[in-house]
């Protein structure tokens, strides 16, 4: 018994010592601007004229309480009141409040909050790009067209959609890949007009519909209707995720049996609740990612108001990176690191992101991916635990919400 206690004591001391070292190694890292340091957060606060950490914390509660009220039990009104009271001089606070009011059908209050935001904003502000245009505030969807990205090889088509109470448009892209055989793969199928579906059929026979992560499920059935001869592939998580459990798939993505060996490479991102599979087309040096990283680029058209605000609130306002809530969803850091390392080893030049225009990363993709994900490849398990613990201390209710989500997912 004494030996067991001694062994247990040594193990506890080792774990405790490892956590102390981990706390020291990540003490200077920001939990809101992932991959960056507290010095970067302080510098941004100076440029913005307000403590951005406090803004992120309050704005996250407000937006998530509106966007996912089935999972997130946030005090939205309290967060909005704190934004107006503590950070009333920051125009972005009033943009968040306007978004919330509009989602709740409070049109006049929303217009007043947006007007206040416009009064406070200045063109050179780091967050100025988040302000909606008149068309975006009127909830007008942009036009949709099939865009050729690599002649004869790659095309893209967007979808602009709303769901829940929010009237503003989210957006996502489907990618059309013409294989050497002339057969066509539709990666991340979306809803589209029949005329565009006909354009895609004219490229070649559509043989595969590939939905590469479990949280993309809205348009699977629509893709099957438009291209009834294609086989549908999803990820294992589609079978357990309640919104997608009813969908029909002909196969499940598996790195051990790649769909297109020798032509298109694939890597399943292990240890992540998203269960995303990332693809690479060596001939065009193009990588295809979906929710592994998000991007938003000031001054570059193609990002909707909904997306610009969402990215801003979760720590991405000037490029590509990992949203601040993702580490909560990492379940096995060693496996995640190994998957990310395989992706970063690709000789990618162009990167096509599901939630970014094709012009976003037309060259230098390997460097962009390294900048966004290199720190994940190098992150230790204990360091991850410390960072998540810090995040939960900033957002104490999110631990409860995460547990609720995991129960709904079946563990």
Phi, psi (5° rounding) for residue 26? -110, 10
Q: Is the pLDDT of residue 283 over 70?
A: yes
Does residue 176 share a domain with residue 278? yes
Average pLDDT, the chain: 93
Provide the β-strand partners of residue 157.
174
Q: Is residue 2 part of a domain?
A: no
Which own/partner pairs from 118-126 qualify as long-range (CB within 8 Å, at least 24 positions apart)?
118/91, 119/91, 120/89, 120/90, 120/91, 120/94, 121/91, 125/48, 125/91, 126/44, 126/47, 126/48, 126/298, 126/317, 126/318
Question: Is residue 274 domain-resident?
Answer: yes
Pseudo-torsion of CA 280, 282, 284, 286, nearest 10°? 20
Instruction: Kindly state whether residues 52 and 167 are assigned to the same domain.
Output: no
Query: How is 165-225 classified by DSSP, letter by letter?
Result: T--SPEEEEEEEEE-TTS-EEEES-----HHHHHHHHHHS-EEEEE--STT--TTHHHHHH
Q: Are residues 173 and 242 in the same domain?
A: yes
Within a domain: 32: no
Asked if the structure places residue 249 within a domain, the reply is yes
**Higher pLDDT pick, 409 / 233:** 233
Please, which pLDDT band fits residue 337 given cuts at 50, 70 and 90?
very high
Chain centroid, CA 306 distance in Å: 13
Residue 3: what pLDDT?
46
CATH number of the domain to which 314 belongs: 3.60.15.10
The pLDDT > 90 percentage for the chain reads 85
In this predicted model, what pLDDT tens digit does every residue of 24-82 receive, in sequence order? Answer: 878 999 999 999 999 999 999 999 999 999 999 999 999 999 998 887 888 999 999 99
Does residue 241 register a pLDDT over 90? Answer: no
- Look at residue 373 and tell me if it is in a domain: yes
Whether residue 209 is found in the same domain as residue 99: no
Does 282 reside within a domain?
yes
Same domain, 127 and 158: no
Residue 219: both structure tokens together: 């348009």
Among 70, 103, 131, give the residue marking a domain's end.
Answer: 131
245, 321: one domain = yes
- The model carries a pTM of 0.92
Q: Are 153 and 181 in contact (CB under 8 A)?
A: no
pLDDT in tens, 246-273: 999 999 999 999 999 999 999 999 999 9
Claim to verify: residue 250 and residue 192 sit in the same structural domain: yes
Domain co-membership, 72 together with 156: no
- Residue 190 domain-assigned (yes or no): yes
pLDDT at 24: 82
Q: Are residues 93 and 178 in the same domain?
A: no
281 has a pLDDT exceeding 60: yes
- Average pLDDT of span 329-341: 97
Backbone angles phi, psi at 227, to 5 degrees: -130, 70
Strands (E), 191-349: 206-210, 231-234, 251-252, 265-268, 277-281, 286-289, 294-296, 319-321
Q: What are phi and psi of 350, to 5 degrees?
A: -95, 145
**pLDDT for the residue numbered 100:** 98
CB 144 within 8 A of CB 193: yes
* Cβ count near 242 (within 10 Å): 10
pLDDT of 11 over the 90 cut:
no
Band of pLDDT at residue 8, cut at 50, 70 and 90: very low
**pLDDT given for residue 189 in this prediction:** 97
Per-residue pLDDT, 17: 58
- Quickly state the pLDDT bin for 359 (edges 50, 70, 90): very high
Per the structure, how many domains does the chain have?
2
Q: How far apart are CA 77 and CA 81, in angstroms?
A: 6
Residue 256 lies in a domain: yes
Report in angstroms the alpha-carbon separations of 129 from 40, 307, 356.
Answer: 20, 11, 15
pLDDT category of residue 355 using cuts at 50, 70 and 90: very high
Give the pLDDT of residue 403: 80
Parent domain of 364: 147-379
Is residue 254 located within the same domain as residue 369?
Answer: yes
Query: Residue 410: its pLDDT value, please?
Result: 60
In terms of domains, do 49 and 167 share one? no
Verify that 291 and 179 share a domain, yes or no. yes
Q: Where does the pLDDT of residue 21 fall: very low under 50, low under 70, confident under 90, or very high at 90 and above?
A: confident
pLDDT for residue 338 is more than 90 = yes
Residue at a domain's end among 131, 164, 192: 131
**SS3 state at 353:** strand
Residue 175, pLDDT score: 98
Identify any residues that bridge with 156 across adjacent strands, giving them in sequence order.
147, 175
- Cα-based torsion angle of the residue sequence 256, 259, 264, 265 in order, rounded to the nearest 10 degrees: -20
- Is the distance from CB of 234 to CB of 220 less than 8 angstroms? yes
Q: Mean per-residue pLDDT for 113-122?
A: 97
The predicted pLDDT at position 407 comes to 75
Q: Each residue of 121-171: pLDDT tens digit?
A: 999 999 999 999 999 999 999 999 999 999 999 999 999 999 888 999 999
Task: Tell me what pLDDT residue 408 has.
Answer: 72
Helices (H) and strands (E) in the chain, counts: 14, 13
Locus of tokens 């991916």:
369
């Amino acid at each position: 018994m004494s030996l067991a206690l001694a062994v247990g004591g040594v193990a506890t001391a080792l774990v405790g010592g490892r956590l102390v070292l981990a706390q020291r190694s990540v003490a200077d890292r920001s939990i809101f601007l992932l991959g960056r340091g507290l010095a970067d957060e302080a510098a941004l606060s100076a440029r913005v004229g307000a403590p951005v950490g406090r803004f992120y914390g309050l704005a996250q509660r407000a937006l998530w309480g509106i966007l996912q009220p089935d999972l997130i039990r946030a005090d939205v009104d309290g967060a909005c009141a704190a934004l107006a009271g503590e950070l009333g001089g920051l125009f972005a606070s009033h943009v968040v409040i306007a978004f919330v009011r509009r989602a709740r059908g409070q049109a006049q209050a929303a217009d007043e909050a947006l007007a206040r935001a416009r009064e406070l904003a200045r063109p050179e502000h780091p967050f100025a790009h988040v302000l909606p245009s008149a068309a975006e505030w009127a909830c007008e969807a942009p036009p949709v067209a099939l865009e050729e990205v690599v002649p004869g090889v790659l095309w893209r088509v967007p979808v602009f959609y709303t769901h829940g109470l929010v009237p503003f448009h989210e957006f996502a892209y489907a990618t059309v890949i013409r294989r050497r055989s002339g057969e066509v793969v539709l990666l991340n199928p979306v809803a589209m007009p029949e005329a565009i579906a006909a354009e895609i059929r004219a490229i070649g026979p559509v043989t595969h519909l590939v939905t590469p992560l479990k949280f993309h499920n809205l348009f699977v059935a629509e893709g099957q209707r438009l291209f009834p001869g294609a086989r549908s592939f999803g990820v294992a998580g589609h079978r357990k995720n309640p919104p997608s459990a009813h969908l029909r798939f002909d196969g499940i993505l598996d790195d051990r049996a790649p769909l297109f060996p020798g032509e298109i490479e694939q890597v399943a991102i292990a240890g992540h609740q998203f269960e995303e599979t990332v693809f690479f087309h060596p001939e065009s040096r193009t990588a295809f990612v979906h929710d592994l990283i998000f991007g938003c680029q000031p001054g570059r058209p193609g990002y909707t108001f909904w997306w610009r605000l969402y990215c801003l609130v979760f720590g991405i306002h000037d490029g590509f990176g990992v949203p601040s809530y993702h580490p909560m969803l990492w379940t096995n850091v060693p496996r995640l690191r190994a998957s990310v390392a395989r992706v970063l080893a690709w000789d990618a030049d162009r990167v096509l992101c599901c939630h970014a225009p094709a012009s976003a990363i037309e060259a230098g993709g390997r460097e962009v991916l390294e900048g966004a994900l290199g720190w994940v490849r190098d992150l230790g398990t204990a360091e991850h635990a410390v960072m998540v613990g810090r995040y939960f201390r900033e957002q104490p209710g999110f631990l409860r919400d995460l547990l609720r989500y995991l129960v709904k997912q079946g563990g």
